[in-house]
Amino acid sequence: MPSPSSLLFSTIPIVCLLFNSCFAAPHPCCPGSQHLVAMMTKYIGTFSTGKDESTVCANAGNAVNAIKSELNSMPECQSPNGGGSGIMGEIDAQLTTSVHMKMEITNDDGCAYNLGFVRAMFDMAKSAAGHAGKGAEWNKLTNDFDNQIDAIDTLSTELTIFVPNVHFQDPRSANSAHKKVPSPSDVRTNPGEYSAAN
């Protein structure tokens, strides 16, 4: 389990929240998307089925606190939509538009909100990784993110916790720049060093 220390939106392209030079949402060859993928790999394995509610909610809360801290330190693009604060704002806006979610947010622990937030981040990371390439490493990483989404969905059903989905705009078709996107291990080691222009 990751240490606490250690969308995309239906209208706004994901990666351009982070870097103005990106073409679509999400776009892993852009530096912002690479930061997102690298960040979320640390949370793979956080959620698994069969856990009790207190454990699930504690894991979700710890993950959200750590993710938000990292998002706050992400660089912003030149447009007013950019940076990790833009991502958090959009996720919050979508999560709190549900009547059920508003009721859950008033609870002391905010477990439904936290699960919804982490699910949204895994969904962004899955889209970013899946758009990067079709190699075995990228496919595995995409599946790992998808498995965490499935685990959250299963846990929410098992524990009767309403977790709304945050909706994302699908990325546009890949271009020739994707041929130069490094492997996931390179992106995890040096996120943001590779762009569509490389």
Residue 6 tokens, joined: 């250690």
Residue ranges covered by each domain of the chain: 15-170
**Which of the pair, 21 or 72, is modelled with greater confidence?**
72
Residue 176's pLDDT band (cuts 50, 70, 90): very low
Is 85 a residue whose pLDDT tops 50? Answer: yes
Per cent of the chain over pLDDT 70 is 56
Is 65 a residue whose pLDDT tops 90? Answer: yes
Q: Are 36 and 18 in contact (CB under 8 A)?
A: yes
Residue 89 tokens, joined: 């704002």
Q: CA separation (Å) from 59 to 65, 70, 82, 116, 186? A: 10, 17, 28, 13, 28
Q: What pLDDT sits at residue 20?
A: 36
Q: What mean pLDDT comes out for the span 95-101?
A: 66
Is 75 a residue whose pLDDT tops 90? Answer: no
Q: What single DSSP character describes residue 110?
A: -
| pTM more than 0.75 | no
For 100-124, the pLDDT digits (tens) are 555 544 444 589 999 999 999 999 8
* Per-residue three-class SS string for 115-157: HHHHHHHHHHHHHHHHHHCCCHHHHHHHHHHHHHHHHHHHHHH
Residue 36 tokens, joined: 């997102």
For 3-50, the pLDDT digits (tens) are 444 333 332 333 333 333 333 333 333 666 777 888 899 999 999 999
Is 57 a residue whose pLDDT tops 90? Answer: yes
Mean pLDDT of the chain: 71
Q: CA separation (Å) from 119 to 75, 82, 84? A: 22, 21, 16
